[in-house]
């Protein structure tokens, strides 16, 4: 398993999600994630209008792929952890990437008043 293989499988996963083909998308998931499919689907802003692979990077024992998933009302970055399972890149973990909320430029955070 190399970065290119993970990228190809991640893109296939995005393509299946974008097509609304959850059955095809689940072929990229580990058995453990398939058994908790409701949790995985809850992470997705369905129906999707756009899906892409933002990045793929090597970790100690696998790869991380960041997916950008855009729905009608939400834009989500999903971090997926990939490992080799039976000779195939497989998603073994998925979670939202929460971006820090930024206030307007130049705005300082409120300071508590002393009594």
Cα–Cα distance for residue pair 12/21, rounded to 1 Å = 11
CB 90 within 8 A of CB 80: no
CA angle, 27 as apex, 40 and 44 as ends, to 5°? 25
| Predicted confidence (pLDDT) per residue in 48-106, tens digit | 999 999 999 999 999 999 999 999 989 999 999 999 999 999 999 999 998 765 555 55
34 has a pLDDT exceeding 70:
yes
For 67, other C-beta atoms within 10 Å of its C-beta total: 23
Cα–Cα distances (Å) from 26 to 4, 29, 36, 72, 84, in that order, read 20, 5, 11, 22, 16
What's the token pair of residue 79?
Answer: 């971090």
Give the model's pLDDT for residue 89.
97
Q: Going from the N-terminus, what domains does the chain have, and what CATH number goes with each?
A: 3-96 (3.10.450.50)
């Amino acid at each position: 398993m190399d970065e290119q293989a993970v990228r190809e499988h991640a893109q296939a996963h995005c393509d299946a999600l974008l097509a609304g083909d959850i059955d095809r998308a689940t072929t990229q998931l580990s058995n453990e994630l398939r058994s908790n499919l409701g949790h995985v689907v809850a992470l997705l802003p369905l129906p999707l209008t756009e899906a892409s692979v933002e990045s793929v990077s090597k970790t100690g024992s696998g790869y991380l792929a960041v997916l950008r998933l855009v729905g009608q009302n939400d834009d989500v970055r999903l971090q997926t952890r990939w490992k080799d399972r039976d000779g195939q890149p497989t998603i073994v973990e998925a979670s939202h990437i929460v971006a820090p909320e930024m206030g307007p430029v130049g705005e300082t955070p409120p300071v508590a008043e002393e009594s």
